[in-house]
Amino acid sequence: MKKKIGKEIISAENVVKKFGDFAALKGVTAKIFEKEVVVVLGPSGSGKSTFIRTINRLEPHNSGKIVVDGVEINDDVKNLQKVRSNVGMVFQQFNLFPHLSVLRNITLAPQKVKGLSRAEANDVAMSLLERVGIPEQAEKFPSQLSGGQQQRVAIARALAMQPKIMLFDEPTSALDPEMIKEVLEVMTELAESGMTMICVTHEMGFARSVADRFLFFDEGLIVEEGTPEHFFKNPKEERTKLFLSQIL
């Protein structure tokens, strides 16, 4: 099942992010390649969420350089728009728009940003809802859906912009155990279809079967990286061993 990994699509060099005096990222350097699925691991407060949020500038980085698909992320608004149109994001708390129907949640950005007509956007949305398995919920409001269904809508919403890269920020952490599976199935399908994905997750079963590479964060730095096999069989760093022994 090993798929072909393409050329470099994200490169982060020495990225530093500070919140006041606290440095959440202390110089992170990483490269992500096309069609690669990267799982980001690490204890809470290690900077893993902050790192993926710098990739679409939800958190502006203080220094260092981030290039996404050939476009550098900086204060230039045009660059930012190019990057964001290539990067979709799924949040821990879903962040669906509660006052809009499921369908409208998905069609909004394609209509407003990409200029699709209502009918075109509806077609895109319905085919995505089919893909995540809940086309019958299109006319409902987010609050009428279960957590797992909401997160699948959120994935469909991000996919509607046809991004090249998908970021997942702990997508299953706010879900009840019986709903985690349905979301992971969608994510697995997405990974197999060749999407470039960066996932912050604690779902080790999923990570092990889908990921091409792990990044292990601690205290704002990438401490260790490698294939899943490397991590599960012989991790080098003490901190990695400790972390893995705690979550497995």
Of 132, 158, 180, 187, the one binding another protein (CB under 8 A) is 158
Q: Fill in the per-residue mask, 39 to 68: x = in contact with another protein (CB under 8 A), - = not in contact.
A: -----------------x-x----------
Nearest to 104 by CA among 142, 74, 77, 134: 142
Rounded Cα distance between 16 and 62, Å, is 6
Among 3, 70, 113, 139, binds another protein (CB under 8 A): 113
Q: Which is nearer to another protein, 25 or 96 (CB)?
A: 96
Residue 109 beta carbon to another protein: minimum distance, rounded to whole angstroms = 4
Distance CA 180, CA 203 (A): 9
Q: Please name which of 122, 187, 182 lies closest in space to residue 146, comparing C-alpha atoms.
A: 182
To another protein, the closest distance from the beta carbon of 173 in angstroms equals 14
Could you tell me the smallest distance in angstroms from the CB atom of residue 103 to another protein? Answer: 12
Q: Given candidates 10, 41, 89, 138, which one binds another protein under the rule CB under 8 A?
A: 89
Q: Using CB under 8 A, which of the segments 6-14, 66-74, 85-93, 209-217 binds another protein?
A: 85-93
Segment near another protein (CB under 8 A); pick from 34-42, 79-87, 131-139, 180-188: 79-87
Q: Decide if residue 3 touches another protein (CB under 8 A).
A: no
Cβ atoms of 139 and 61 closer than 8 Å: no
Interface with another protein (CB under 8 A): 56, 58, 81, 84-85, 87-89, 91, 93, 95-101, 108-109, 112-113, 141-143, 157-158, 161
